[in-house]
Chains A and B, each alone.
Chain A
Amino acid sequence: MTFVSAVFGVFFIGISILYFCVKREYRWIVLLFGSYFFYWMSSKSLTVVLLFMTIVTFAVGKIIDARNQKSAAYLKEHGELQSGERKAYKNNCKKINTRILILGILLDLSILLFLKYFNFFSDNINELLGWFKIPAGVPTLGLLVPIGLSFYTLQAIAYMTDVYRGKYRADRNFFQFMLFMSYFPQIVQGPIARHDHLAKQLYEGHDFDYQRCTFGLQLALWGLIKKLVIADRLAVPVNMIFNNYGNYSGLVVLLAAFGYGLQVYADFSGGMDLVRGLSQILGIELQLNFKQPYFAKSIEEFWRRWHITLGAWMKDYVFYPLSLSKISGSIGKKTRKIFGNNIGKKIPSFIAMFIVYFLVGFWHGPEWKYIAYGIWNGIFIMSGILLEEFYSNTKKKLGIQEERYSWKAFQTFRTIVLCSVGRFFSRADNLLAAFLMIASTLKGFSNIAFLVDRTLINLGLDTADWVVLCIMLLIMLGVDTAHEKGIKIRQAIAGQGIVFRWLIYYAAIFAVIIFGMYGSGYDSASFIYQQF
């Protein structure tokens, strides 16, 4: 069962009716039943993977929490202990807790590594053996990756780590925890939830609210428009160029990468709007995953606005633990001595940042091109920080006034171009194809004849499709501009008269029905991030 299907529509209506009909204290059971039903329909027997990870994560959280409580009680009872004794006791407890946490993380991570990355490792090991004329020794397995595994593994790790850090107590009810791990709107492609944000909302049960329901429906409808009308339509010319990249060169290839960036944005953020909207109907507020990324003025800012929950996860569970580790501290000490405070203090963070962007890339998929995609972004972020002073001096010398719109527009344009080039890595068939495509953009770059000859029409969309696409892209830009300015569109619509309101609703519904890309040849059912 996928989100963009009639079956899911019927399922969601059924779950919603049941949710609001049963007593408040039992509503989470409806969600749990619905979530496991949804997951079973999508993943069948692979549901056991989700269940296993849930059991491991719950157990590890429970054990660490119990140990935290026990040690706190012991220290309270033995107030007479000297500070050295207290410290030794605490360190000992922490050491054991750390081991339990590492075991839990390894258990959860090993499932992800095995199912998603085993063949990547085996292929590369065999390739390496081939260089030394040694026959392939590691088998390639026909492994199936359960839906959402990359997302809920991160959610599980965050939960165990937070309990370990004492940020919150472990969940007491296993069945409620099952719901936290499996909540159907967000299990497929996020947002990557945190227990202290989502769990209580899931467990407490919400009453029906008309305005919340209409707002949720509007958001979900807008998500469908982004997915079916924009993303799936953009996919046609983008696929045509990426799948036949040898036939194209120059600006049109760069535009394909830019188009793919927009496609992913419409697809992923559309998916997020859909699930956030559906959740809002049930009274559950999922975390925001996008904040108008195409308005970013640097790649670093782009990543603060794009897939926010993944960035936040990487920051809290990879970047800071690495940066604040003892090893990082001693590296920093040495680098400050060698390179001076200004550069030296940044080096440990750069190492952590490099690891983060490597992981961000690798998280997207078991291919070198994704690693290159992560590193591409990481390099620009690090160079931006490293050359900050140089850029600042250059700007002063050139008399650039940063508050001018022209400078801001240039910054945004530069970010979009750099992000678009990065998209070659994530979309091209492989790493070599990505490099070949980047090289081909330089060939005949200034040739803009494709705009007036039949090149665009031969990319799979007719004139009407291009017109629809351009209009919808402009609307998406308008919506993002309004959000950027802090305008709350749904509230603004709610303040209008009934005729105008329904005119907008009908326009949106008909846009999905008439302009959505359906039928054979369009894989509208799946979202791009679902495969990650």
Chain B
Amino acid sequence: MREKVIKILEDIRADIDFNHLTQKLIDDEMLDSFDIISIVGELNEAFDVDISVDELLPENFNTPDAMVELITKLQQE
């Protein structure tokens, strides 16, 4: 799942090396709100989940692992 998430992220922001992050994606403003909206759309489609407005929190999108965790949680619900 992680690879798939990384692939989606790279398609949207090719300029960021998501495998070797030294900063947090949201807290350190590496991604903007338009990126997040695109990412959520792609993740929803790729993993058949429904990321809601209430889940649009920095901690859910700060790292690829946080996104994987969010998707796993939504799939298990």
Contact = CB atoms under 8 A, between A and B. Distances in A.
Interface of A: 83, 87, 90, 165, 167, 316, 320-321, 323-324, 326, 328-329, 332-333, 336, 341, 345-346, 348-349
Instruction: In the A-B complex, list the 7 residue pairs whose CB atoms are closest, starting with the nearest.
Output: A329-B41, A320-B53, A345-B38, A345-B34, A323-B37, A346-B34, A332-B38
Contacts of A333: 41-42
Interface in B19-59: 33-35, 37-38, 40-42, 44-45, 48, 51-54, 56
Given A83-B75, A324-B44, A341-B13, A349 B53 contact: no
A179 to B, nearest CB: 25
Contacts of A348: 37-38, 41
Given A346-B34, A349-B33, A165 B41 contact: no
What is the interface of chain B mostly: helix, strand, loop, or mixed?
helix
A502 B53 CA distance: 48
B6 interface: no
Contacts of A320: 53, 56
A336 B34 CA distance: 12
Contact of A165 (B34, B38, B42, B54): B54
Contact of A336 (B38, B40, B45, B77): B38
Given A167-B54, A324-B37, A336-B12, 16 more contacts: A83-B75, A87-B48, A165-B52, A165-B53, A165-B54, A320-B56, A324-B53, A326-B44, A329-B44, A329-B45, A345-B38, A346-B34, A348-B37, A348-B41, A349-B33, A349-B37
Contacts of A90: 77
B19 to A, nearest CB: 19
B14 interface: yes
A92 B44 CA distance: 18
B51 A324 contact: yes
Contact of A345 (B14, B35, B52): B35
Nearest to A348: B37
Contacts of A341: 12-14
Contact of A324 (B13, B14, B40): B40
B56 to A, nearest CB: 7
Contacts of B38: 332, 336, 345, 348
Contacts of B44: 324, 326, 329
A336 B51 CA distance: 21
Interface of B: 12-14, 33-35, 37-38, 40-42, 44-45, 48, 51-54, 56, 75, 77
Contacts of A346: 34
Contacts of B37: 323-324, 328, 332, 345, 348-349
A324 B38 CA distance: 8
Contacts of A336: 12, 38
A90 B48 CA distance: 13
Contacts of B52: 165, 324
A227 B8 CA distance: 53
Contacts of B56: 320
B46 to A, nearest CB: 11
Nearest to A161: B53
13 contacts: A83-B75, A165-B53, A316-B53, A324-B37, A324-B51, A326-B45, A329-B44, A332-B37, A332-B38, A336-B12, A336-B38, A341-B12, A348-B38
Contact of A349 (B13, B34, B48): B34
Contacts of B33: 349
* Candidate in B12, B34, B75, B77 with the most chain A CB atoms within 10 angstroms: B34
Contacts of B12: 336, 341, 345
A323 B77 CA distance: 23
Nearest to B37: A323
Contacts of B34: 345-346, 349
Contacts of A329: 41-42, 44-45
B14 A328 contact: no
A328 B13 CA distance: 19
Nearest to B75: A83
Contacts of B13: 341
* Candidate in B40, B52, B53, B56 with the most chain A CB atoms within 10 angstroms: B53
Nearest to B77: A90
B75 A321 contact: no
A341 B8 CA distance: 12
B41 A332 contact: yes
A355 B13 CA distance: 27
A499 B37 CA distance: 56
Contact of A321 (B35, B48, B53, B77): B53
A350 B75 CA distance: 30
A235 B35 CA distance: 44
Contacts of B53: 165, 316, 320-321, 324
Nearest to B38: A345
B9 to A, nearest CB: 12
A341 B52 CA distance: 23
Nearest to A352: B37
Contacts of B41: 324, 326, 328-329, 332-333, 348
B72 to A, nearest CB: 12
A236 B6 CA distance: 61
A346 B40 CA distance: 14
